[in-house]
Structures are given as C-alpha cells and as structure tokens.
Structure 1
Amino acid sequence: MTLILVLRWAAFGWMAFVAAFGGQIVRTDIGAAVLAVVFVWTLIVTLTPQRKGSAAIDLGLAAVTIVVGGFVEPAGRVLTAHPSFAGIYPTAAVAAWAVIHGVRGGFAAGAMLAAVVPLQYYFNGVTPVGLLHLETLALLGTMLSYPLIGAVVGIVTGQLLRLTALADHGARLEERARLAAEIHDDVLQRLAAIRRDLPDAAARAALERQERKLRRIHLDEDTPHEDCSLAEEIYRLVEEFSDVPVRVASTGRAPMARQTVTIVVAAVKETLTNVRNHAQANRVWIAILEDPEGVLVTVRDNGIGFDFDEAALTERGRLGLSLSVKARVENVGGTVKVKSRKGRGTEVEMWIPRSG
C-alpha cells in the first residue's frame, strides 16, 4: 500500500500542475474545489486507519474526478492529446481495491470507473455515439485500461502473497534439513559410540531407542509426503512458548501429509507469536478437531483483542495475518477466520481439508 500512497501523491501533484499551468481549466472554481477535496482525502488516507466503506468513498471520489474533468476543461478537450485534469489519480483507487479485494475487486472497481468515462465525454460536449473510428478506439482504450489495471494489480498482489508464504516455507524446510544433517553427522555418531561403551544392557537398550527416534526424525526429511500427526506437532510447538500458558485439546492425532502439517504448524506458531507480542494474554487455548473431511484448528486467547477489519488492516499496510497465517493456510487449500473485539480476546480458526 506504500507504493499506492506514493502514486496518490504523485497523481495529485500532477493534477495540481495541470490545473495551474496547463491552461486547460475553464471552471477554476470547481477545479479548485475538487483539488481541495482530493488533497484532504489523500491526507486522510495517508495519516489515519481506514474504516469500512472508505474504499467505496475512495472509488466514488475517483469517479467524480473523471466526470468533473470533462466539465471543467474546454469543450472537446477529450478528443485532443492534452493532459487531462484527473490524470492517473483514479488508478490509485483501482489499485487499492485490487490489493484489498483481489483480482475480482480490482476488476470490478476498474469496470465502475470505465462506466463513467462516457459521462466525461458528455460533459465535455462530445457525444460518444458520434465519434470517428480512431476516436472511438481511444475511448474504448481509456475505458478498458481501468479494469485491466485492477486485474493486473490483483494478480500481482496475490502472487506476492503466495511467493512470500512459499519462500518462508522453503526457508523452514531448509533449516530442518540442516538440523537433521547435524543430528545424523554428529549426535547419532556420538550416541552410537556411547552405547557401545555402556556396560549395562538396559541402559544400552534405552539409548538405542532414543537413537532410533533421532534417526526417524532424519529420515522424515526424505519423506515429505508421508503422513504425520498435526496434533503431535502442535503439542511440540507449544513447548517453545513456555512464557505463555497454552492449553491444547485434541480429538485425535489428526494425521495429514507432512508438508501440510509443516505449513499449518508454521501458521499456528505465527498466531502464538502475535499473541505473545501483542495480545497481553495470560491464557491461550488451542483446539484441534478432526472429522473425515478435514481438521479445524482454533487458537483463542483472553487478551486485549482488537477491532478486526482485514480490509482496513491491509489498507494500512499491516499484512501480518494475511502473509503469515492466511496465505499459509490457503496455500494448502484451507481457510482462516479471525474473530476479535477490544477487551474480549481473539480467536483464529484454521480449516484444513484432508485433500490439502
């Protein structure tokens, strides 16, 4: 969203420059009023968190700048190569919709702005149905540019989220492989040497059992598609959070593909990290409920909570939940729901299908 804010300010600066020095504004009073509104709104978007409905206001203002451009400029200006009053400012609203609502949202926002372009022609004294062939192509090109920009930004944003999740997952797998190699090269060899020197048969047998467990950990790295227990891995994860009292309840082992378990455990770890760093909670509950279709993992805390609004958080550039939790779970075909209110804690539900 930082890049979109930069685009907003650059586009506003261009609007002001065209209005002041382009010699293409015949209704300076209306142009100045629209510039003042755009400036105030851009400042609000930059300095304050956005509430529900702000994206709609943003898109509405973008549509107004397009229509007003036709009204304040000389008649027939839309048929010339002169810079327009609205410039590229409306594209910032389309890009914001694409980041918040994905490809469909960006395309829909672009389609709405495309629909008002003929009004710009009308208020500029040009009848769209009476255009020459090349002028019609120019109109259609302008109209198509908005939904195309929305779709492209939505696609790029989705790809970036997925690549971030995959890169993080790859780094974790690489670290696990390194640790497994260290276990195999150092720890297992030392255990074998110690076991040979032990005089007590019972002690040798106990040490041999531990050695087999460690070897199994190493071999697991070479069998990423073998099923393992999601519940057991989450129980192991909880041991890393000794500073936060966590209770885990499970209806079973919840066996799933090892790669899926690795990704889901990483999502649960990020959720617990958020609780530890931000929630001010003194109790956390994790429930692992399985059925034939999948597994539901719920992480609930009794912390301070917050007013969860994914669109507003994304608008402010706070993509932690999206990148660290939601993108991971969606990468294995699952879904994430977040429920939170100030003073009432937070609950994160992760649904993972068996097919994942």
Structure 2
Amino acid sequence: MSVELPLWRALTGYRVLTLGYALALFGFNYEEYAHPLGGALYMGVLTLWMALTWNRVSSPERCTKRFLAADLTIALAGVLLTTLVDSPARIDGGAATLPSIWTGGAVLGCAIKGGWRWAAVGSTLVALANLVERGSPARDTVHNVLLVWVSSIAIGYIVEVARASERTLARALQIEAATRERERLARDIHDGVLQVLAMVQRRGTALGGEAAELGRMAGEQEIALRTLVAGGLLPARSGTPERYAEDAELAGLAVPTGPAGPVPAPRPPEGPCDVAALLAPHAGPDVSFAGPGTAVLLEAAAAAELAAAVGAALDNVRKHAGDGARAWILLEDEPDAVIVTVRDDGPGIPDGRLADAEREGRMGVALSIRGRLRDLGGSAELLSVPGQGTEVELRVPRGSETGR
C-alpha cells in the first residue's frame, strides 16, 4: 500500500465531516444572517458539489489539478460570499465564514497532491480571501491564517519526503530482488557449467592433441564466466595452456561423484520430499551417511536447495581435503528445523582463506552453500581447525521455501 494512501482516505473523511459541521453551524445561526437565503443557496451548492465529488480525493489519480482548482474556487467563493450574506457586526465579531473549516480540505488536497509548493499557493489564496472578508487583519484572523498556512505547508513537505522514501524503498527492493536472482543464477552456474568446463579443461590437457586445444578453450570460457559471476573481481588471463590450467586449478571444482560415478542433480517431486532420499546417493567408500530411520520431510524446493548445498560442501571436500580424505553426512530431524552436518578429516581451512577465495571468484561457500541457506531463511555455520578437518552445519527451518 502506498504511504500516502491513508492521507487521501483521511482527507475524504475530513471533507465529509467538515461539511456536516458547516451545515450545522449555518443552520444554528440561520436567523442571524443578513441574507440567509443567499447563504442557504451557497450551502446547497456546496452540498451538491460534495455529493458529486466526495470520492475524488480518495486517490491521487482521481484528484486531478482541474478538480483541485474547482474545489479551491468554491471554497474561496464561500469565504468572499460571507461578506454579502452576513451582517458586518457578526463579521467583526469573528463569526465563521460560510464554508467554515471545510475550506481547509481544499488546501490539504493541494498539499497532498502537489507537495508544499501547491500547499503554499492554496493557503495563501485562502489567507487573502479571509483578510478581504474581515476587512482588516484582526488578531484571530491572522492566527487562523498562519495556522492554515504553516500546517498545510508542513503536511505538503511530509508528503514529499514520504514519496521520496517510498521511491528509495522500491529501488532498494528492486536491487535486492536483482541481487538474489543474480546469486541464484550464479549458484546454478557454479554447480553445473563451471564444473563441467573445469573438468573438460583438465581432461583435455591430460589427453593432449586436439583435446588439449579443446581443453584450453574450455578453460578460457570457464575463467571468463567465473569472472562474470564474481562481479569482475578476477581478471581473465591469457597465454599458454599451462597458464589456463593454473587458472582453472585456482577456480574450478570437481563434478560431484558417488560410488557409481557422477551424482546427477536431484529433481524432487512436488510437495513434501524426503531429504534422506536426496542425500543417500552421496554415500560411498569415502562418504558416510547417517540419518533417522524415518523420512525427513521438507517442501520439495527447500529439500532440493539443501541437497545442493550438501553437494557443494562435498565438492569442496573432494577438491581441497586431498586424496584419501573421508567425509561424514549427518541428517537430524528437529521439531522446528532440519539440520545436516557435513564433516571431513582433511587439513582444514586456514584463517582468511574463505575471504580470499571469494575475492578470487570462487563462490562455492559464499553462494552455493551460504547463499542457498540464506534464501531458505536458514543458516550455514562453518567450523574449521587447521589440521583437524572442517565441519559445515546447515540448518533449514520448517516451512522454508526457495526465494523467501
């Protein structure tokens, strides 16, 4: 809902209530007017105008400039007409004008529609009309004029600030949505395209011949794509195939594998999904999996993202823990969350290495693990002691959905 929409609704109510007040005030003092029929004619016109336009100030689209000009004209006409239908004694005594405080609605409409500048113009015109009606700048008249002038300009300024804040918030939300989409695409690229390109580069270099040239081209594209994903922080390098191999070794990750070969990305069905069924294919000679004896259910999208984060953690184990390193996956089913712990017995991660890897364009932990869990409303805690391995705890709250 727009921040100014409540102001338009309040203005609609103000106009209706102040019309009732003006009619009651006129009826109460009817006999005291010098020409009560003229006043009654104006009040009839004002009532008809309100009956036809009461909802014109319910939204900025309906409240047009032409309507505001007509509304303000009717208010000014009522103020000036008071000098003709009321007695000089009552006017000098400070009697209310025919439209009374209904006039403020016209000024407030200008303030909400056009900001403090329109409010200044409208309140100035009302102030001049009131001074003409009184014939002299009496103390109470000056007091009322200043009150309307200051309050309308203040409201107009507040409306302008509210609109600017709303635009800023909308822009921030757009940037946040674009950033989340960029991270999602980066995770997909990281888990698929980048790993395949890195594998082609390594296999091509090992085979030699034409395959080496194909591997060199794959390495070039892998580095350029990783640079794009990382936001341009890692410049692409050019030169010999050995330099491409060096860059690919710095940036690439292995394709997830199990005891029977590559583990395809799971495609869970719609509705609740058993997380254990998605994690079980990772088990093998070097990876142990343990979980409850019953199904651990999550929404399909959340379960798929959790399984992908586990796969990314295992990729890092295979890549960085060295040959012969073992990994353990522990699945826990808590009342309010699903927890998956991935632990290895590798050399651990040196202090500051994750920050350096992110600057180099290696987004395995930043996007494929932490980014996924953040989008699910969960958390990814990483504990690593040099020489004692690494432990990653992934926590997904119940009811999580991708993109939340």
Normalised by the length of structure 2, the TM-score is 0.43
Bigger radius of gyration: 2
Structure with larger RCO (C-alpha < 8 A, sep 6+): 1
Relative to the length of structure 1, the TM-score reads 0.48
